[in-house]
Amino acid sequence: MKRKFLLFNSTNELTHLITKYFNWIEGEYHLEDTPVKTTAKSITETIQQKVWDREPQPATLSGLALYLGFESRQAFEQYETSGRFAAILKRARLQIESEYEKKLHFTSATGAIFALKSIGWTDKSETDDYSNLAANLKVEIQVTGPIPAGSEKEVTL
């Protein structure tokens, strides 16, 4: 599962390792014949049932980084931001984001929402923020013409 050296000789090698990770997290199983009794004359039939040897796991960025041999998430992100493997690692991240996004359709999507927010997603609509505009708005009143009277006593004819 874990590579000892952080050495990718080619983009094909890295792509192959990423594909192996996504296959590995699907788990392993074998089929077993399981007897099933029928009600008619106690005839026993068998059906094939899936028995897990290794349970499936969710796709995670940390899991991918560990599988590829990185020693930290920061090292993974550094490779992802620059270098000849950046595009491949960005695509792998997008594949994991896609898995989180699929979980948003479940009844309890809290974990998926948290994971997506932690990798940069936001649930706020991107609109112009006018709340700070009032603090920066300066109003000047310029007096032109005669000053209005404050009461009837100030009016002269």
Task: Render pLDDT for 22-80 as a digit per residue (tens, 0 to 9).
Answer: 999 999 999 998 887 776 666 678 889 999 999 999 999 999 999 998 988 888 888 88
**Phi/psi zone of residue 95: left (φ > 0), alpha (ψ -120 to 50 degrees), beta?**
alpha
Global pTM?
0.63
Which pLDDT score, from 0 to 100, does residue 65 have? 92
Q: What 3-state class would DSSP assign to 55?
A: coil
The CA distance from 115 to 123, in Å, is 12
- pLDDT for 2: 45
Alpha carbon 156 to its chain centroid, in Å, reads 75
pLDDT per position as a tens digit, 16-36? 999 999 999 999 999 998 887
